[in-house]
Amino acid sequence: MTRTARAWTGAALAALAISTSLALPTMANAAPVTCYGDYCSGADPTESGCAADAYTTVFEETEVGRLDVRWSPTCKTNWVRWVKYDRGIMMSMIPLEMAAVQDTGYTQSFSFGVNGDSDRDHPDYNTWVTPMIYSPVHKVQGQMTFQCTGVGDCLIYGALEGPMKTAWS
């Protein structure tokens, strides 16, 4: 191999090593996971570190927000997340309760309380989550019930039609 070929090979290997080290996350950057297996059931996904690698598997959207079923490959857990949009003309669709429902019937839920305000100290009034369900083999569905506050409210995801539901994931 010539000197020029060795120089190009060395430069290529150095570039590969640098790009690989930049692309891979370090353990120091990863959030520590504080639960494992069924011990994650009932825990908060963010506080436990399980939300760090989570992604949305299915969702259902309305005029006022989106209901996501989230999955963490590290913790093997699902939970439901509500992302609220600005209300605009749909002032009456106020969330009452959301739930992560496993195909076994096991449920973890979050109650928004009267008028959809469960916690005035909530750090982010646009996003809420249910506690997690350890679910490596079972499917999970997201459900949301809205308060009926005006004429016609109960016809769309209210008491008469039952909760809004995502597909099973």
Write down the domain spans for the chain.
Answer: 37-165
Say if residues 100 and 69 touch (Cβ distance below 8 Å): yes
pLDDT of residue 147: 76
pLDDT of residue 22: 42
In the chain, which stretches have pLDDT less than 70? Answer: 1-31, 87-92, 115-125, 148-162
As given in the structure block, the two tokens for residue 102 are 């496993």
DSSP 46-81: TTTTGGGG-EEEEEEE-SSEEEEEEEETTTTEEEEE
pLDDT of residue 92: 62
CATH class of 37-165: mainly beta
| pLDDT tens-digit series, residues 36-77 | 999 999 999 999 999 999 999 999 988 778 999 999 999 999
